[in-house]
Structure 1
């Protein structure tokens, strides 16, 4: 169990940040890895087998980040669309590399059954800095709504808008990490002038279903598939995960659209958010990536059978 600190080192407790505090926070963000080396190089290598496009560009000071999407070739108007998104929170590594693993190893076998659209790294600035927010201290995964304040979210909305009514399935690949509790929740509380109480970080994989349009059989099928490659998070002593009641093994529910979450951005019949726990002593980085790729495969298989 990790617990949040009561006072974040930036700002005054109980007072929301202004421009000064946001600039102070921004000045402390450091690049730890390369989006070009880790992501763009892999996406460009896939261009021999898939259609690769840029759907926007982020400009943060001197840093420019092209946003890439991957499509299966020979889209067919009579086929449904499957949307896979990763790296909406840039620091959640297996979301990015799990999406790329799925494309590299499995996407082609579905290409005659569905049209696939994959955005593997929605937040490259956050990817490089291993951060949840963008450079403006905004969480993209609370920003999928009209007039979005996060360009990461707005760009993805523009990409998907022409085809959103054809989307059968949207699976959004995430992680829950120890730094959610030690860094990101305290930072959020400080930014908004609130107090951050402690939470227990679940040890294992879990899913977030849609409160407004639940699909319990769909979520269960993914859990059963992923359980073959990594462990599923058990409920805490209150029968909850991350403060939400468990509705089935390894599944909780959020009102996806109301919260501005990426998984709620379309009217897809089947929606889910994966949550991998990379800090577990029982899971390797390879297992985390594999769990994401397996989740995508099992989600597509279920949607094709029951959609």
Structure 2
């Protein structure tokens, strides 16, 4: 080979070709490593870092599982054994039915139910209802007592009590109040564990402040009890007396037995008298009967 009068041997020529080839190979390798492999390595490194963080987080959760599980089981045990519970949902029919279940026997009242609205919180909600009605005062106290102290959570607000309209029983009152009934929005409790057992606070007084101490009229003798003022004492023993009542029938009474407006308080066999305690419209009188000679 000639180049401007120079003749290159095959060895030199091959060396130059080899060097050029090596240069291109080296450049290509560098470019491959620099622009492809490095980017891929950086991506892999980033992925490794993220996976390591995820692993560390999951490992920390795994390591804390025994303690978390113990805390959870304790919380479940507290909830399951708590004496209060939320309504399972926001169905007002459940509240109405619950009130009807309470209003039985010596807690019976007559009431109307009106749903006002439903307020939602994070994990629970509140059904607001207006309740109004009429009933015997002692029954109403037991109704409210049971409602507030039984398992399902109900709160009474803005309670109003008034004397009944004319013609009603003297023991009756009219009432109205706002009822807040709490229900669950997330499954906090097993609804199968909610029972309908009712509880009352026995220390709550049922004395009726609306009942008049002195009344202008006295109740009729509906049970045809012995009317002391229209009867005659015809005999007595140490524990019993014998009375001819207002209808001419003979009755045997012992201490504590009921008569019209009261009861037989005592028997004095020595003096041959019987003493009765009578409540005449709120005024208590002691009436004494003697054996007729």
Scaled by the length of structure 1, what TM-score is found? 0.20
Instruction: With a CA cutoff of 8 Å and minimum separation of 6, indicate the structure with the bigger relative contact order.
Output: 1
When Rg is computed on C-alpha atoms for both structures, the one with the higher figure is: 2
